[in-house]
Amino acid sequence: MIEVLGVGKQFGGITALNPLDWTIGKGEWWGIIGPNGSGKSTLMRLLSGVERVSSGVVNINGKNVTDYSRKQLSRMMAVLQQEGIAPIHYPVREVIEMGRYPYMDWLGRDSSENVDSLIEGIMDKLKLHELAERPLDELSGGQRQRVALGQVMAQEPSILLLDEPTSFLDIHYQQQFMELVANWRKETGITVIAVLHDLNLAAQYCDKLLVLRDGKAVGMGTPQEMLTAENIRVVYEVEPVVVAHPASGVPQVLLSRQTM
Ligand X SMILES: Nc1ncnc2c1ncn2[C@@H]1O[C@H](COP(=O)(O)OP(=O)(O)OP(=O)(O)O)[C@@H](O)[C@H]1O
Q: Does 240 bind ligand X (CB under 6 A)?
A: no
Q: Is 13 exposed, middle or buried (0-12, 13-18, 19+ CB in 10 A)?
A: exposed
Question: What is the smallest separation between the CB atom of 39 and ligand X, expressed in angstroms?
Answer: 4
Q: Residue 259: phi, psi to the nearest 5?
A: -75, 140
Binding mask 21-60 for ligand X (x = CB under 6 A): -------------x-xxxxxxx------------------
Q: At what angle do helices 115-125 and 141-154 cross, to 10 degrees?
A: 150
Minimum distance of ligand X from residue 81's CB (angstroms): 11
Collapsing DSSP to helix, strand or coil, 168 comes out as coil
φ, ψ (nearest 5 deg) of residue 230: -65, -50
Residue 213 in the binding site for ligand X (CB under 6 A): no
- Looking at the Cβ atoms of 17 and 149, the one nearer to ligand X is 17
By CB under 6 A, which span of 11-19, 131-139, 171-179, 217-225 interacts with ligand X? 11-19
**Torsion angle, CA of 87/198/232/211, rounded to 10 degrees?**
-60
**Shortest CB 115 distance to ligand X, Å:** 35
Is 40 or 144 the residue whose CB approaches ligand X more closely? 40
Task: Work out whether 82 is an interface residue with ligand X (CB under 6 A).
Answer: no
Of 10-18, 83-91, 102-110, 113-121, the window that binds ligand X (rule: CB under 6 A) is 10-18
Nearer to ligand X, 82 or 228 (CB): 82
Closest contact distance (angstroms) between CB of 84 and ligand X is 16
Pairing type for strands 208-213 and 63-64 reads unpaired
β 29-33/208-213 pair status: parallel
- How many residues in total does the chain contain? 260
Q: Does 11 bind ligand X (CB under 6 A)?
A: yes
> Least distance to ligand X from the beta carbon of 197, Å?
7
By the 10 Å C-beta count (0-12 exposed, 13-18 middle, 19+ buried), 114 is classed as exposed
In angstroms, give the least distance from the CB of 207 to ligand X. 21
Nearest Cα to Cα of residue 145 among 103, 177, 175: 177
Give 50 or 132: the residue with its C-beta nearer to ligand X.
Answer: 50
Residue 111 CA to its chain's centroid (Å)? 28
**From the CB of 201, what's the least distance to ligand X, in Å?**
15
Contacts 24+ apart (CB under 8 A), 116-120: 118/154, 118/156, 119/93, 119/154
Number of residues lying near ligand X (CB under 6 A): 11
Residues forming contacts to ligand X in the complex (CB under 6 A) are: 11, 14, 16, 34, 36-42
